[in-house]
Amino acid sequence: MRILVINGPNLNLLGQREPGVYGAGTYDDLVAGVSRAAAGAADVEFFQSNSEGALIDAIHGAAGRFDGIIINPGAYTHYSYAIRDALAAVPVPAVEVHISNVHARESFRRVSVTAPACAGQIAGLGFGGYIAALRHFTGDLAVSGQIRLGEAPSVSGGTRLLALIGDPVENSLSPRTHTAFAGALGLPYIYLAFRITPGRLPAFVGAARTLNIAGFNVTMPHKQAIIPLLDRLETDAGAVNAVVNRGGELIGHNTDGKGFMLSLARLGVNAAGKRAVILGAGGAAKAVSRALRKSGARVAILCRRPGSADMSGADILSWEQTAEAAGSADMLVNATPLGSTGHAGFDSLGFVDALPAGALVYDLVSYPAETALMAAARRRGLTVVGGEALLVSQAALSFELFTGVAPDLGGA
């Protein structure tokens, strides 16, 4: 098997170009490392140029000579449709690689016009991304724009830590889910859960910097409290549930809204034009409301204190109007802790009987797996979704923020 490794502009300056972002290894180190990894499995040839035309010529020349292309187009990633067309034109499969986690950097770096012409994209693994791409072609790994759930990764001196913090965390599925994501691609990450009480939150944030934790998820009771301890936010949700460590800078994100919409998409649910009723007015309700309205849904918020709800663009209704609102709902979302382990349940579930046939009931509660609300909806024959669907989707989005690789949730 013959593999062509193509590197674009400025990659000849590896080692001296922003070592805090791209590492201290030189281009020669990259060539040597990939060559060692390929020994006995593939013949690898390397090409680097700062010229778009030369890169296109190299892609054209791969036809009939190579079985695969590993390409890091550099800055051309974001705007070179000519390179994209070249990759699409030649009958040689390609994998796009980036040394840094482009998905956790400036917004323009997150856009790739060349990736759609490739089998997949790997980012944020340093020189290891090239080796992961090599393993795709040698048959040790299947890359298809994502990763598949698999075995836990091996641990070495280069393994980096991902984490969950909260109180409690003992029942969390996150360690199993993230570790499975990492294991599928052999990525050098492990994921652990830490019970952090409110008084120890500042100490943990300091430890995350000192230990160079690559990223960590944040659950109750820290989603708001952690905000002043971070360097920067990439969310205006008023709460943070994922923190990325980029060169010592801790950046807060919120995946509630995107995770909710991803979970609906996995179920084949299109929210456009639908009437959604959301129970609750906290951070999760706000994020879900915003995401649904952005998708074209009409949203009503049911809350105990309507005057305190900040939900511009949504209808704000009192808790006493729940049954009335449910009567015209295509979708009902419980964004309160009612019915969750350790919390009281609903005073009455009579509003479930008011829901139209065919309505969807989505309980964001994670524990227990089957809430009283879900059970009542099932008895009505309604479509029911539990909090685990949201957790898996949020985990996939967080994992991509942390590592630059999007997991495949097809079997999750």
Q: Which residues are catalytic?
A: 223
Look at residues 167, 5, 218, 237 and name the one whose alpha carbon lies nearest to residue 99.
Answer: 5
Strands of the sheet containing 275-279, edge to edge, are: 315-318, 298-303, 275-279, 331-334, 360-363, 383-385
- Residue that the structure tokens 């790997």 belong to: 122
- Reading the block at residue 276, the tokens are 């959604």
Beta bridge partners of 363: 334
- Residue that the structure tokens 């007015």 belong to: 281
Helices and strands counted in the chain (H then E)? 13, 17
- Residue that the structure tokens 């100490």 belong to: 203
Kindly list the distances between the CA atom of residue 254 and the CA atoms of 129, 189, 243, 291, 390, in Å, as whole numbers in the listed order: 26, 21, 9, 12, 13
**Residues 254 and 235 sit within 8 Å (Cβ to Cβ):** yes
Residues 161 and 107: their CA atoms lie apart, in Å, by: 25
Residues 250 and 233: their CA atoms lie apart, in Å, by: 9
- Is cis: bond before 168, omega within 30 of 0? yes
E strand or H helix at 68: strand 68-72
Kindly list the distances between the CA atom of residue 312 and the CA atoms of 166, 274, 300, 334, in Å, as whole numbers in the listed order: 30, 18, 11, 19
